[in-house]
């Protein structure tokens, strides 16, 4: 990833922070984005202390203006855009559909789906002017979930619907730009120990045990394991892979 300019959204914690650190360690110039300035600054300081290169952009994935500014910052700071890991997302309310509110639906769709659409819209426009002209081309990885492939009584309607839609949107983009040197793929994590699962973890040891057992391997994935999968898909090592959703789930989907 030496010298490549890569955006990472949701970079203030969990998978996004792990990916920002990993990409920078492999030589990428990272534009880390998220809503929490203090945490974003801390991630960037950690990267720089380790000898990496990164800047932080405070951005809400529900804001078109913030997303546009994020991409503009990558181009103005580093001269172009080679890759993006659109990882930011929000968890769902675990309510039945008939009890769901429009406010919950709209909030999750705005971040988990519309945010990814807007990210790709501006990222691809920038890549066509820079990264796509590089011999290896440009690459985008979007974060979905195993709940983009199935349903669960532990999930809510908006979360499951949005993650299914991210996979479809990514495949459409992959085909649309396949001849313009831009690859688009998805990572689909199974249960992963991040802040997103803390509300479930707080429900008690029986729920923790149940969540661990969702992945047949018997434990939750780590943020670093998901970040490694994203790094692979962003790299030239995955040059023949596009339009693919890669589960990082300890065999969860294979068991179904």
Domain assignment present for residue 215? The answer is: no
Query: Using CA atoms, how far apart are residues 226 and 222, in angstroms rounded to an integer?
Result: 7
From the list 78, 117, 122, 159, the catalytic residue is: 159
Q: What CATH number did the domain enclosing 25 receive?
A: 3.40.50.720
Domain count, the chain: 1
Query: Are the C-beta atoms of residues 116 and 165 closer than 8 Å to each other?
Result: no
Active site residue 177: no
Spatial contact of 165 and 115, defined as CB atoms under 8 Å apart? no
Please answer whether residues 138 and 132 qualify as being in contact, where contact means their C-beta atoms are separated by less than 8 angstroms: yes
Lowest-confidence region among 90-94, 213-217, 226-230, 232-236: 90-94
Q: How far apart are CA 121 and CA 58, in angstroms?
A: 19
Average pLDDT along the chain? 95
User: Cβ-count burial of 87 within 10 angstroms (0-12 exposed, 13-18 middle, 19+ buried)?
Assistant: buried
Within a domain: 205: no
User: With 90 as the cut, is the pLDDT of residue 208 above it?
Assistant: no
Q: Is residue 152 part of a domain?
A: yes
Hey, CA dihedral for 173, 227, 122, 83, is it positive or negative?
negative
Confidence of residue 199 (pLDDT cuts 50, 70, 90): confident
In a domain, 67, yes or no: yes
* φ/ψ (deg, to 5) at 188: -120, 85
Position 129 scores a pLDDT of: 97
Q: What pLDDT is attached to residue 22?
A: 98
Does the residue 28 lie in any domain?
yes
Provide the pLDDT for residue 93. Answer: 66
pLDDT tens string 216-232 = 999 999 999 999 999 99
pLDDT tens, position by position, 97-129: 999 999 999 999 999 999 999 999 999 999 999
Name the residue range of residue 126's domain.
5-192+221-255
Q: What are 78's two structure tokens?
A: 């580093």
Please check whether residue 211 lies inside any domain of the structure: no
User: Is 200 inside a domain boundary?
Assistant: no
Residue 227 forms part of a structural domain: yes
Residue 130, pLDDT > 90, answer yes
């Amino acid at each position: 990833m030496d010298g490549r300019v890569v955006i990472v959204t949701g970079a203030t914690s969990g998978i996004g922070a792990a990916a920002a650190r990993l990409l920078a360690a492999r030589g990428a110039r990272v534009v880390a984005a998220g809503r929490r300035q203090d945490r974003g600054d801390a991630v960037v300081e950690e990267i720089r202390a380790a000898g990496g290169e990164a800047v932080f952009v405070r951005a809400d994935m529900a804001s078109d203006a913030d997303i546009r500014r994020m991409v503009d910052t990558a181009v103005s700071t580093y001269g172009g855009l080679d890759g993006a890991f659109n990882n930011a997302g929000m968890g769902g309310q675990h309510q039945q559909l008939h009890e769901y509110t429009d406010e919950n639906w709209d909030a999750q769709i705005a971040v988990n789906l519309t945010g990814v659409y807007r990210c790709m819209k501006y990222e691809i426009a920038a890549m066509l002017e820079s990264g796509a002209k590089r011999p290896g081309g440009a690459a985008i990885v979007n974060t979905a979930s195993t709940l983009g492939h199935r349903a669960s009584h532990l999930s809510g309607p908006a979360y499951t619907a949005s993650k299914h839609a991210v996979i479809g949107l990514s495949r459409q983009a992959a085909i649309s730009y396949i001849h313009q040197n831009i690859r688009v793929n998805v990572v689909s994590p199974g249960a992963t120990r991040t802040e997103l699962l803390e509300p479930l973890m707080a429900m008690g040891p029986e729920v923790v045990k149940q969540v661990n057992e969702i992945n047949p391997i018997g434990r939750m994935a780590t943020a670093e394991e998901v970040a490694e999968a994203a790094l692979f898909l962003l790299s030239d090592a995955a040059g023949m892979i596009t339009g693919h959703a890669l589960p990082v789930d300890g065999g969860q989907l294979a068991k179904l």
